[in-house]
Amino acid sequence: MGNTIDRRQPRLEDVAARAKVSHQTVSRVINNHPNVSSATREKVEAAIAELGYRRNTAARSLVTRRSQTIGVLAAEMGQYGPANTLLGVQQAAREAGYFVSIEAIKEAGADAISDAVRHLTDQGADGIIVIVPHDGTVQALEGLTLDVPVILVGAAGGGLFSGALVDQKLGARLAVSHLIDLGHRRIGHVSGPQDWVDGRSRAEGWGERLREAGLPDDLLIEGDWSAGSGYRIGRQLAAERTATALFVGNDQMALGLLRAFSEAGVRVPDDVSVVGFDDQPESGYFTPPLTTVRQDFEELGRRCMGAMLNALEGGAGAGTIMVEPELVVRSSTSAPA
């Protein structure tokens, strides 16, 4: 075996010669075409194995005009949510025989988005998944006239694009309902930035649920998702002591709040109950362990890729994939004093 040491990669024709068939027959075997006799198929498969043949993706892409590549555009790719969504996308893509090409942007401006998308289409991406949960993303994309399916993560579908998101409003309602059920009447919200879709949805869900219960919805402070902003807001809240419970836009800000409360001698949950959002792996080990709303980012990513595959096969586009969040009750919430 193996007397050809430094020849280049075998190609279709080499396999064909070895199996004594035409290159087209080999192509048929590779692509699982039905009309190949099993004897021929075996011969060809043997030749492929002997030669260690691997199909050349570039040549295939050139003629099929398909790259088998999905482009993923992400802001904040180092963060827990986007990173795990990406993971889910990649897993599903792999199973379907697709490659995943990534593009990270630092600022979610229209130019950055447009450049990144351009880069992805230059590579011949068959579809694009956009994980940029800011306002303005849709507009930035709409100006772009793309001829591949686009799925927006964290936004509802409609118009030109499909969407995939965890039901943020539902998550917020779960959190607030939990606090109401415990007996809280003054429930504040430390929100994410209001120019982020998620930040706004959570705030809306919070407000809606409070109004339904006939409770005041005037206690809203905007943070920037970071633990630092949570800490600053926490110091302020510790001084004011207006609410008996707080729904916080994500677990990182909740951590900052917890820290600030601890410093100020405000006990959680005895003096104030706190609910977070995301359920990062660490949240169960905060002091105290955090009651929070779990988002399954990996699942989101997988289903997103599912929708993409569907769109690539000519299925209906512009729908919305919705993943349900789940309340995880731990020790940072209790009935008011």
- The H-or-E segment that residue 24 falls in is helix 23-30
Which of 10, 157, 249, 256 touches its own copies (CB under 8 A)? 256
Question: Which of these ranges, 31-39, 185-193, 232-240, 312-320, lies near DNA under the rule CB under 7 A?
Answer: 31-39
Select 46 or 62, whichever has its Cβ closest to its own copies: 62
CB-neighbour burial class of residue 242 (10 A; exposed 0-12, middle 13-18, buried 19+): exposed
Q: Are the C-beta atoms of residues 284 and 290 closer than 8 Å to each other? A: yes
State how far the alpha carbon of 77 is from the alpha carbons of 81, 87, 133, 267, in Å: 8, 11, 12, 34
Q: How far is the CB of 185 from its own copies (least distance, A)?
A: 28
Q: Which does 258 bind (CB under 5 to 8 A by kind): DNA, its own copies, none?
A: its own copies
The sign of the dihedral angle between the CA atoms of 132, 135, 140, 143 is positive
Q: How far is the CB of 312 from DNA (least distance, A)?
A: 14
Q: Which does 5 bind (CB under 5 to 8 A by kind): DNA, its own copies, none?
A: none
Q: Which does 284 bind (CB under 5 to 8 A by kind): its own copies, DNA, none?
A: its own copies
DSSP summary character for residue 222? E
Q: Rounded to a whole number, what is the distance in angstroms from the first to the last CA of the chain?
A: 80
Taking the mean position of all CA atoms in its chain, how far away is CA 136? 18
How many residues line the site for DNA (CB under 7 A)?
A: 29
Which of 16, 47, 100, 210 touches its own copies (CB under 8 A)? 100
Which of 4, 9, 139, 236 touches DNA (CB under 7 A)? 9
Binding flag, residue 63, DNA (CB under 7 A) = yes
Which of 23, 41, 119, 235 touches its own copies (CB under 8 A)? 119
